[in-house]
Structure 1
């Protein structure tokens, strides 16, 4: 598969994923019933599945892998933290304030992941300063 096509599909899914996360976080913090809508519950998981699929295709294409290449290891570890904090932001946070702070932290982690992806450096955005 063409590298640029897979890269653009991966990046597109990443932006769609964070957009859906922010929407779901806002619905969670405001305790909106829309959070239970079938499309709101299913679409983010579908997008994230394709995001990970394209990530694996990219790794194979560029022949760089977590636990071999530091920047991909950093992305993977940050992704695990993002997922954990994201579950607090969307459903496990007991209060709206906890869910709000978890949402903010999750977006900051996503921003770190984006910086690592752009720079291929563990320092993320700090690597360009």
Structure 2
């Protein structure tokens, strides 16, 4: 059985890889880089994000903390859905570089919010510093 500590480290590593990879793909999208078409660039985000989600679910089960019962996890889940939507718009769906850049900034802001919620274990995340 996987230990909680191992899962936590796996999760954090995948968060770093996922965020850095998304940021890099966003920059490549804005500069029309041919790197976006490389197979490893197209496949690796799916592998990393699957490990990220799997480790999150395993940690939730091991700790008996679930969204809709732990407010900070509910906030992370809501943030994740917004991040996915903004990310899809940034990398594929929005028309024009200006709109894609705006969605990229929005997605990265939501990503930072999700990380801050996890670090602070508060649904306000970094917004708590503004209040």
Name the Cα RMSD after superposition: 1.2
2: CA distance, partners of 1:128 / 1:101 = 24
Q: Which runs of 4+ in 1 moved over 3 A?
A: 126-129
**2:127 and 2:109 mapped to 1: Cα distance?**
14
What does residue 6 of structure 1 align with?
Answer: 7
Unaligned runs of 5+ in 2: none
* Pairing 1:121–2:130 present: no
Q: Does 1:33 align with 2:34?
A: yes
**2:64 is aligned with 1:63:** yes
Question: How far did residue 122 of structure 1 move?
Answer: 0.6
CA distance in structure 2 between the partners assigned to 1:87 and 1:118 by the alignment:
25
1:34: how far off?
A: 1.6
User: What is the TM-score normalised by the length of structure 1?
Assistant: 0.95
1:87-126 → structure 2 map (5 Å cutoff): 87-126=88-127
Q: Alpha-carbon deviations, 1:60-100, whole Å to 9, x = none?
A: 11110011111111100110000000001111121111111
Unaligned segments of structure 1, at least 5 residues: none
**CA displacement at 1:128 relative to structure 2:** 6.0
Contact 1:29/1:97, CA 8 A, preserved across alignment: no
Which residue does 2:17 correspond to in 1?
A: 16
